[in-house]
């Protein structure tokens, strides 16, 4: 089984400041990693994903994340945030082995609030 | 239309009502999912359908009844719900190709049970 821990439930930042949203996971098997964003009153939108290869993954809206296998982390970063980035961000993992254990396991989410 | 659509977007129902939520995916995927999102709780996987066959029922009460007539459509039939069932219900779809299966989500149905 897998578990995902998002260390901060809320992150307030000022506009144009850098931000890092932290995600750690636990799994007995290799996993694929995802970040989703949920804007108010909307569903989840895929931001980026790590499958293999380069550990630095670039996504939409200027976000990027780095996979660190030794620390079992997949932190999300943006060098300069905008008011429109205010949303809830979810980290998720999916077992590489798939098969019967195909569940996408989510963290509890981090609410990013960007203030002017 | 593109992606995953859900109707209605908002629903208010009494505990004795019967209603249905609809999900449609336009991505050619073969797997569809129902999730429940309650305040302050992680997303809860409710049901999974793979090639129209239900492959997961995550201990969901029988007052929730899913239906998947084909790979593009998924329904969630609701009856005699409780106030604690008020939540955002999200539908998702993916292509089960034996590799990574990125799930794409709809906008959700916000349900309020009175």
User: What is the mean pLDDT of the segment spanning B87-113?
Assistant: 88
| CA torsion angle A4 B102 B37 A89 (round to 10) | 60
Beta-carbon separation of B108 and A98 below 8 A? no
Cβ separation A49–B100 shorter than 8 A: yes
Q: Which one is predicted more confidently, B20 or A28?
A: B20
Indicate yes or no: CB of A43 within 8 angstroms of CB of B106.
yes
Mean pLDDT across chain B: 90
Average pLDDT over residues A89-95: 93
CA distance A41 to chain B (A): 8
Is B11 strand, coil or helix? Answer: strand
Chain A residue numbers with beta carbons less than 8 Å from the beta carbon of B105 are: 36, 43-45
Name the DSSP letter for residue B36: E
pLDDT digits (tens, 9 = 90+) for A28-82: 888 999 999 999 888 999 999 998 889 999 999 999 999 999 999 999 999 999 9
Average pLDDT over residues B75-103: 88
Judged by a CB distance cut-off of 8 A, whether residue A109 touches chain B is yes
Interface contact A102, partner B, CB < 8 A: yes
Residue B23 CA to residue B108 CA, distance in Å, equals 9
Read off the pLDDT band of B40 (50, 70, 90).
confident
Q: Of all residues in chain B, what percent carry a pLDDT higher than 70?
A: 96
8 Å CB contact of A94 and B96: no
**End-to-end CA gap in chain A:** 41
d(CA B72, CA B23): 8
- With a cut of 60, say whether residue A100 has pLDDT above it: no
To the nearest whole number, what is the mean pLDDT of chain A?
92
* For residue B15, pLDDT beyond 90: no
> Is residue B2 predicted with pLDDT exceeding 80?
no
Q: pLDDT at residue B52 above 90?
A: no
- Whether A45 has its CB under 8 Å from any CB of chain B: the answer is yes
The reply to whether residue A43 touches residue B99, judged by beta carbons under 8 angstroms, is: no
């Amino acid at each position: 089984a897998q578990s995902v821990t998002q260390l901060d439930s809320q992150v307030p930042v000022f506009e144009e400041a850098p931000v890092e949203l932290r995600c750690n996971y636990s799994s007995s098997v290799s996993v694929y990693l995802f970040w989703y964003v949920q804007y108010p009153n909307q569903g989840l939108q895929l931001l980026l994903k790590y499958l293999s290869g380069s550990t630095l993954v670039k996504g939409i809206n200027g976000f990027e994340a780095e996979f660190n296998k030794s620390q079992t982390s997949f932190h999300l970063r943006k060098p300069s945030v905008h008011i429109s980035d205010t949303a809830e961000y979810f980290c998720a993992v999916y077992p590489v082995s798939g098969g019967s254990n195909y569940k996408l396991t989510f963290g509890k989410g981090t609410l990013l609030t960007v203030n002017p | 239309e593109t992606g995953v659509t859900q109707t209605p977007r908002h629903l208010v129902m009494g505990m004795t009502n019967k209603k249905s939520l609809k999900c449609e995916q336009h991505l050619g995927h073969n797997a569809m999912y129902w999730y429940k999102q309650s305040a302050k709780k992680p997303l809860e996987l409710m049901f999974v359908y793979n090639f129209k066959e239900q492959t997961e029922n995550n201990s969901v009460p029988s007052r929730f009844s899913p239906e998947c007539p084909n790979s593009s459509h998924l329904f969630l039939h609701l009856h005699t719900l409780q106030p604690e069932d008020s939540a955002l219900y999200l539908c998702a779809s993916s292509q089960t190709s034996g590799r990574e299966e990125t799930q794409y989500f709809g906008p959700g149905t916000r349900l309020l049970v009175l």
